[in-house]
Structure 1
Amino acid sequence: MDHADSQPLRLIGYWAGSTAPDWPDPKNFVDATWDRLERETIADYLRCGFIHRAFGGLSTCRFCGRENGALELSDGVWLWPDGLAHYVDDHDVRLPAEFVDHALEYLEKLGDADRDVAWWRAQTSPASGKPR
């Protein structure tokens, strides 16, 4: 991968705190009317990100004080703290439409993708049955 051509990961779900007072306040994102199925789908998407980085300390939820993880997760476009799903699930935090649309489009493409079984089958040598 040529990193010179890659786009920076877009941060989402980092909240205002004592060391970052100018970041968004999660209370401004609460929407109890957000469609339950869409909310659950987005929370699941957030939990399934790739681990980008791990930290030594735990963040705490800005609502309930729960320890909320020490990882950053990514889908290759966006970057978020692993506790973001907790905000969506437990505190009705609705993420911006640009992120939600991205996640739903990605999941739809994945669900509609054809499966290529030939490549995997070809990895076994017919004579020995062992991997090539």
Structure 2
Amino acid sequence: MVPAEEGTLRLIGYWRGPTSPQWPDPANFVDPDWDLHERETVVQYLQGGFIFRAFGGLSPCRFCGKANGALELTDGTWYWPDGLAHYLTDHHLRLPRVFVEHVYEELDRLGDFRQDTEWWGKQGGLD
């Protein structure tokens, strides 16, 4: 995969619909055999994103029609609709390997940080 340009967020998780024929067909991503642990890890990662943008209307699920969120979330590298996790949990979609690898790389990177608890322990109140 070609890396995104500096200062660019890469989109994932928008699906083809009546008003959006340019996006991928979600049916092409269905994989009920995807490793459950890996799927759950990616779902938790998606749900833990930061709010990037909010919209006025709810997006319907392309499979079941469920109202599926009105936010976009980001991790600072990728951005996705907040309802993307629904597709993984309820409809067994598997996201591209490059995104799954990114998730694991980010989780490993965070796990490597030293934790500083001393700073907070020294806080006595408002300055």
Partners of 1:20 and 1:60 in 2: CA distance = 12
1:76 corresponds in structure 2 to 76
Structure 1 runs of 4+ aligned residues shifted over 2 Å read: 118-124
Report the secondary structure of 2:80's partner residue.
strand
Q: Given the two structures, how large is their TM-score scaled by the length of structure 2?
A: 0.90
TM-fit CA distance, 1:6: 4.3
Q: Given the two structures, how large is their TM-score scaled by the length of structure 1?
A: 0.86
Report the secondary structure of 1:73's partner residue.
strand
1:9 maps to a residue whose letter is L
Partners of 1:113 and 1:8 in 2: CA distance = 25
Q: CA RMSD in A?
A: 1.5
The 5 A counterparts of 1:105-116 are 105-116=105-116
Extract unaligned runs of 5+ from structure 1: 125-129
TM-fit CA distance, 1:117: 1.8
Report the secondary structure of 1:19's partner residue.
coil
Residue correspondences, number: 123
Extract unaligned runs of 5+ from structure 2: none
Structure with larger Rg? 1
